[in-house]
């Protein structure tokens, strides 16, 4: 659950290193005719689905321990991608429910008294449902307002609970970096395409860090479709060629976090802290049995 270097493949980085994200070809490749731009498809809870799991983040206090655990496993050695945060556990300063929202706050502070402190100059939180809830297929909807500030790297994402990365698959419902706050990414990672070769897309959401938006994923045996506010912006299809391309026939758990800095977050502006991601709800729907 630490495959953050996986997120190196974004259209953002692809643009910086030509061909670095696969499929783009070299600079000398002939230019294909531009594909027609399809109209955005509507994304909504499919008919016949029912709510199977949710958190509305009420009442005020720490997150519900029946639903969320804290991933702190790499604090001592440092997290992937040269990220600079220390992830705390059950600490309201970094994760608490307030006015019906889960507030994840990244701060500039050193928890040097903590036994697992690895020298990090910032604190944050990484909440996971691992060991508590996981799903195979479903419609996932998360209403969130992202942090504003250069150096932040929030994510709403999922990892396969059975097996190693990338074979077990990764589904990035929402990623954003504070240096380009209006660009929101969705990406998949598999054995057939991970890290620099993950498959994904970015969409402009002008007020992503000042207003709530709904980040969605419709995961079926045939495809995973990602969307924002009811509009699809990326689809990853099951090619029918097996696990390497489609590991998404096994359970995944959910992760909510703010990373700070690192290879994708980039240089950190210390004037931004504290910064927060607010999550109004997480709702998971599945087909009625």
* Smallest separation (angstroms) from Ca ion to the CB of 64: 12
* Smallest separation (angstroms) from Ca ion to the CB of 167: 35
In sequence order, what are the residues at sequence separation of 6 or more whose Cβ sits closer than 8 angstroms to the Cβ of residue 138?
A: 49, 52, 219, 284, 285, 286
In sequence order, what are the residues at sequence separation of 6 or more whose Cβ sits closer than 8 angstroms to the Cβ of residue 230?
A: 42, 43, 44, 214, 216
Longest Cα–Cα distance in the chain: 59
Q: What are the two backbone dihedrals, phi and then psi, of residue 16, each rounded to the nearest 5 degrees? A: -80, -35
- Comparison of 97 and 245: residue with beta carbon closer to Ca ion: 97
For the record, the structure tokens of 57 come out as 């983040």
The 10 Å Cβ neighbour count of residue 60 is 12
* Smallest separation (angstroms) from Ca ion to the CB of 46: 23
Binding site for Ca ion (CB under 5 A): 56-57, 100, 280-281
- Comparison of 74 and 102: residue with beta carbon closer to Ca ion: 102
In sequence order, what are the residues at sequence separation of 6 or more whose Cβ sits closer than 8 angstroms to the Cβ of residue 206?
A: 182
Kindly list the distances between the CA atom of residue 272 and the CA atoms of 88, 91, 178, in Å, as whole numbers in the listed order.
19, 20, 10
In sequence order, what are the residues at sequence separation of 6 or more whose Cβ sits closer than 8 angstroms to the Cβ of residue 54?
A: 281, 282, 283, 284
* Smallest separation (angstroms) from Ca ion to the CB of 174: 17
Which residue minimizes CB distance to Ca ion?
100
- Comparison of 108 and 213: residue with beta carbon closer to Ca ion: 213
Which residues are designated catalytic? Answer: 170, 175
- Comparison of 41 and 99: residue with beta carbon closer to Ca ion: 99
């Amino acid at each position: 659950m630490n495959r953050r270097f996986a997120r190196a493949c974004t259209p953002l980085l692809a643009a910086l290193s030509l061909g670095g994200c696969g499929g783009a070809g070299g600079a000398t490749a002939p230019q294909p005719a531009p594909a027609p731009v399809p109209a955005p498809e509507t994304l909504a809870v499919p008919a016949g689905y029912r709510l199977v799991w949710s958190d509305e983040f009420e009442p005020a206090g720490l997150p519900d321990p029946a639903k969320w655990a804290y991933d702190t496993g790499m604090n001592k050695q440092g997290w992937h991608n040269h990220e600079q945060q220390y992830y705390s556990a059950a600490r309201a300063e970094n994760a608490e429910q307030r006015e019906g929202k889960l507030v994840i706050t990244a701060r500039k502070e050193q928890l040097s008294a903590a036994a697992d402190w690895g020298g990090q100059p910032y604190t944050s939180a990484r909440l996971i449902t691992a060991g508590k809830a996981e799903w195979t297929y479903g419609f996932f909807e998360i209403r969130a307002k992202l942090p504003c500030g250069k150096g932040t790297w929030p994510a709403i994402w999922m990892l396969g609970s059975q097996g190693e990365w990338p074979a077990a698959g990764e589904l990035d419902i929402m990623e954003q970096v504070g240096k380009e706050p209006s660009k929101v990414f969705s990406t998949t990672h598999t054995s057939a395409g991970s890290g620099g070769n993950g498959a994904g897309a970015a969409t402009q959401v002008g007020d992503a860090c000042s207003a709530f938006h709904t980040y969605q994923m419709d995961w079926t045996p045939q495809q995973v479709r990602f969307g924002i506010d009811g509009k699809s912006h990326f689809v990853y299809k099951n090619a029918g060629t097996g696990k390497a391309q489609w590991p998404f026939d096994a359970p995944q758990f959910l992760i909510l976090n703010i990373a700070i800095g690192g290879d994708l977050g980039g240089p950190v502006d210390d004037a931004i802290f504290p910064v927060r991601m607010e999550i109004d709800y997480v709702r998971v729907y599945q087909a009625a049995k």
